[in-house]
Amino acid sequence: MNKPIFIKLGGSMLTDKTSAERLVDQTLKQVVTDLATWRQAHPTQPILLGHGGGSFGHYWAERYHTAQGIIDDQSWWGVARVADAMARLNRAVVGACLDAELPAIGIQPMASGLAKAGEIQALGTQQIASLLAAGTIPVVYGDVLLDSVQGCTIASTERIFSALVGTLQPSRIILLGEQAVYDADPRQNAAARPIALINRTNYASIIALLGGSHGVDVTGGMRNKVEAMWQLVQHAPQLEIWICGPQQLHAALSGQLNGPGTIIKLD
């Protein structure tokens, strides 16, 4: 079996993060249609999909401070709300994939995942490996997990991917949503320029430039995502992380960006 490619559909891309639980249906449909077209030409390439929480999970996690754990008598309501919202968003993503003739199967991280002090300790990797080997497309997502120290925690899609890398050994992780990592916030600075490559030579200087996320995001925004992916490539030196917009999906899957985008790799 070829090494899998992990693809994250960013929550900011799939939803309007300034409005609770609002899905951007047309974007989701276009992305899965593009993926289906590429897969028809590459039917043996294993694909793992993941998606962020956007205005579904992040809205409830912010309201109940779920990332802090069980802190008051309302916290378990937060766990329930986040789990429900993320499961519904997952069903929407899986449904769109099925409509596009992609054999997608939703995987709930909370069902098999456990954390300790905010760090993932266990996840159902063998189940996902079996689905990949069968030619299906598992669809994971950022989720609330039970935590043996603080009761619960929020595990972003990037952290879920990180927990799967050791077993599944992907060749590439594509983070689809933002057009690239920029040297300034492009929403506030028209002169902001995309950073094509982040490696050991420039990582420290670039991470100092990065800000957070537009709208509600309890997982920390772009800076935390880049930091998490950098830690990952340090442990998996052959892995490459590609950050690009949805229109670049076909190019990123083919290994050749034809527009703005950022590649994170060790060297």
* pLDDT of res. 246: 94
User: Measuring CA to CA, how many Å separate 55 from each of 16, 74, 89, 139, 183?
Assistant: 6, 20, 10, 18, 26
Say if residue 222's pLDDT is above 80. no
Is 37 one of the annotated binding-site residues? no
How big is the chain, counted in residues?
267
Is 166 one of the annotated binding-site residues? no
Say if residue 218's pLDDT is above 70. no
Is 221 one of the annotated binding-site residues? yes
Q: What integer is the mean pLDDT of 126-147? A: 98
pTM score, whole prediction:
0.92
Is 265 one of the annotated binding-site residues? no
Is 69 one of the annotated binding-site residues? no
Say if residue 230's pLDDT is above 50. yes
Proportion of the chain above pLDDT 90, given as a percent: 80
Is 12 one of the annotated binding-site residues? yes
Domains and CATH numbers, the chain: 5-264 (3.40.1160.10)
- Residue 181: which of 164, 166, 203, 153 has the closest Cα? 203
Is 145 one of the annotated binding-site residues? no
Q: How far apart are CA 36 and CA 250, in angstroms?
A: 10
Is 215 one of the annotated binding-site residues? no
pLDDT tens per residue across span 44-74:
999 999 999 999 999 999 999 999 999 999 9
Higher-pLDDT residue of 187, 36 = 36
Please report how many Cα atoms fall inside a 13 Å half-sphere around the Cα of residue 33, on the Cβ side.
Answer: 7
The Cα diameter of the chain in Å comes to 52
Yes or no: say if 147 and 119 are a contact pair by the CB < 8 Å rule: no
* pLDDT of res. 214: 53
pLDDT tens per residue across span 171-211:
999 999 989 998 887 888 888 889 999 999 999 998 887 76
Is 106 one of the annotated binding-site residues? no
Q: Which helix (H) or strand (E) holds 48?
A: strand 47-51
pLDDT tens per residue across span 68-93:
999 999 999 999 999 999 999 999 99
Mean of all residue pLDDT scores within the chain: 93
Yes or no: say if 106 and 139 are a contact pair by the CB < 8 Å rule: yes
Q: How far apart are CA 69 and CA 212, in angstroms?
A: 22
Is 8 one of the annotated binding-site residues? yes
* Residue 212: band (very low, low, confident or very high) from pLDDT cuts 50, 70, 90: low
Is 17 one of the annotated binding-site residues? no
Say if residue 266's pLDDT is above 70. yes
Please calculate the CA angle 125-126-129 and round it to the nearest 5 degrees: 85
